[in-house]
Amino acid sequence: MDWLKQTIDLGVIGVLVTMSIIALSVILERALFYRQLTLTDYTSKKALELALTRRLHIIATIGSNAPFIGLLGTVLGIMLTFYTMGQQGAVDTHAIMTGLALALKVTAIGLVIAIPTVAFYNVLIRRAKEMLLEWEIHHEREGI
């Protein structure tokens, strides 16, 4: 059953690492885009809003789902621990605690990915709203 435990661990952790790389890539891309954006290039508020919010849903999805994927890994790890206990027929507290501790690490990884991802999402959303308001203020001043 060790192969199954490693498959679960590596599979779930692999998914979480992939999600974190995708989130980091989108966060960096959006931050660079916001830094280089010239508001006067846009004549339509809707076009600006579309450009500002592009791909933000990816960050939100990863941030909200990473803990659940981590929890799935934990549940699978706990199930595997109980299965192993049942197959061995003896209750070894050392093996149980080790199995449960290893299972919980996946939830911790999911939280480590989710917390900063959600924080960055909120920062990017706030910056997008600020830029939209700056665009509106500029167009009001210009009488456009």
Dist CA 57 CA 93 (whole Å): 44
In this prediction, residue 81 carries a pLDDT of 84
Higher pLDDT, 91 or 119: 119
The total number of structural domains in the chain stands at 1
Residue 129, domain extent? 2-142
> Residues 73, 107: contact at Cβ < 8 Å?
yes
- Dist. CA 136–CA 45, nearest whole Å: 8
pLDDT of residue 68: 96
Is a pLDDT exceeding 90 seen at residue 117? Answer: yes
Residue, of 7 and 53, whose pLDDT is higher: 53
Of residues 8 and 131, the one with the higher pLDDT is 131
Distance CA 20, CA 114 (A): 8
Is the Cβ–Cβ distance between 49 and 127 less than 8 Å?
no
